[in-house]
Amino acid sequence: MSCLVKEGIVIMGDSICNGTHGKKALLSDPQLFEERFEELVTELTERDLADPVLTDALNRLREVLVYNAPGGKRNRGLSVIGSLRELLPPPGLTQDTVQRALLVGWCIELLQAFFLVADDIMDGSVTRRGQPCWYKRDGIGLDAINDSFLLEGSIYRLLRRHCRDQPYYVHLLELFNETSFQTELGQALDLMTAPPGHVDLSRFTMERYQAIVKYKTAFYSFYLPVAAAMYMAGINDEEEHNNAKHILLEMGEFFQIQDDYLDCYGDPSVTGKIGTDIQDNKCSWLVVRALEIMTPEQRAELEACYGRSDGASVDKVKALYNTLQMPSLYRTYEEESYQRLQKLIACHAQNLPHSVFLNFAKKIYKRNK
């Protein structure tokens, strides 16, 4: 029987099936994903721990989950089911398999929420996804640190309840643990390279920048969802995972450079956040690349203004970027990165469907938020 996959819905002959039954059989993956979140929140806050003395804490957990987990682009979470659809034939996508893939996707979104809640505190950020950062809400403050722990802890409770009897359970546990540690090491590098209030542009090298990006962003945003889908599809071979990693880390580096560019040049009404990389003394691609091409006089001006929060200093840095034609350099980099990615896919994805990687690429190249 012939089949076609369209927007996460598998069309087989005259019937349509996304791996679920009843009314859900006609839902797209984003719709299934949305529904799964409501079920997981109820499970974590009403069915998991029944001790009545925890009522207040579980109500807090619900509030933390609902405020911080949804609202993003959800590319990471949706990439699990999206990748699994490319790795398994339609008959292998049973209802249970689809539901577990949606759950693992939400576990990645919870990991993202855990990182962002903590990251916003460390950076002193104001907004996230078009709303005040969690710690900025009335009555929250530094209690948000414990809330971030609740988000992380929820991941392992969900994996245990839903995947414990699966052959890939240990692989998923090790993958989430390893990825969390890699991301935390990347955050440590980032914090040490650009401590608030202490500007030292000599630390802003391309080598350091690439190390921060690889560990802080690329592993959890790109390798983690695809690797999870590979394990769920029974692909355990270390060489295949390394091949996927080569491609996905390149994609992750581009994604972060794009994020850095949008921090300065993006429209806050579209991106959902007000860019503060200049004020926060961030080791951003823009400043690292600018340092490689600027004159000593321009460097002196940058040193006088970078990492300062007053509007005049920020405007001077942005004017400097424009003088150095950073938007043009970025567009050149974007095109070169895409060509490099195509070569990596051709070289390293010989035994894996190219669509796994191309679907990811389509979501991020030329994005504006």
- Cα–Cα distance for residue pair 341/241, rounded to 1 Å: 17
Tell me which of 190, 263, 277, 280 is the catalytic residue: 190
- Cα–Cα distance for residue pair 171/188, rounded to 1 Å: 26
Q: For residue 108, how far is the Cα from the chain centroid? A: 8
The secondary structure of the chain, three-state, reads: CCEEEECCEEEECCEEECCCCHHHHHCCHHHHHHHHHHHHHHHHHHHCCCCHHHHHHHHHHHHHHHHHCCCCCCHHHHHHHHHHHHHCCHHHCCHHHHHHHHHHHHHHHHHHHHHHHHHHHHHCCCEECCEECHHHCCCCHHHHHHHHHHHHHHHHHHHHHHHCCCCCHHHHHHHHHHHHHHHHHHHHHHHHHCCCCCCCHHHCCHHHHHHHHHHHHHHHHHHHHHHHHHHHCCCCCHHHHHHHHHHHHHHHHHHHHHHHHHHHHCCHHHHCCCCCCCCCCCCCHHHHHHHHHCCHHHHHHHHHHCCCCCHHHHHHHHHHHHHCCHHHHHHHHHHHHHHHHHHHHHHHCCCCCHHHHHHHHHHHCCCCC
Catalytic annotation present for 190: yes
Tell me which of 216, 245, 273, 282 is the catalytic residue: 216
Tell me which of 114, 115, 222, 357 is the catalytic residue: 114
Catalytic annotation present for 216: yes
Sequence-separated (6 or more) residues with CB below 8 Å from residue 321: 264, 286, 290
In the structure, how many helices (H) and strands (E) does the chain have?
A: 15, 5
Identity of the residue numbered 122 = M
Tell me which of 120, 259, 263, 277 is the catalytic residue: 259
Tell me which of 115, 255, 357, 360 is the catalytic residue: 255
Catalytic annotation present for 316: no
- Cα–Cα distance for residue pair 218/255, rounded to 1 Å: 8
Catalytic annotation present for 260: yes
Catalytic annotation present for 369: no
Tell me which of 37, 76, 85, 119 is the catalytic residue: 119
Tell me which of 74, 115, 120, 123 is the catalytic residue: 123
Catalytic annotation present for 263: no
- Cα–Cα distance for residue pair 339/86, rounded to 1 Å: 23
Tell me which of 47, 73, 160, 343 is the catalytic residue: 73
Tell me which of 29, 120, 147, 260 is the catalytic residue: 260
Tell me which of 76, 128, 214, 289 is the catalytic residue: 128
Residues serving a catalytic function are: 73, 114, 119, 123, 128, 190, 216, 255, 259-260
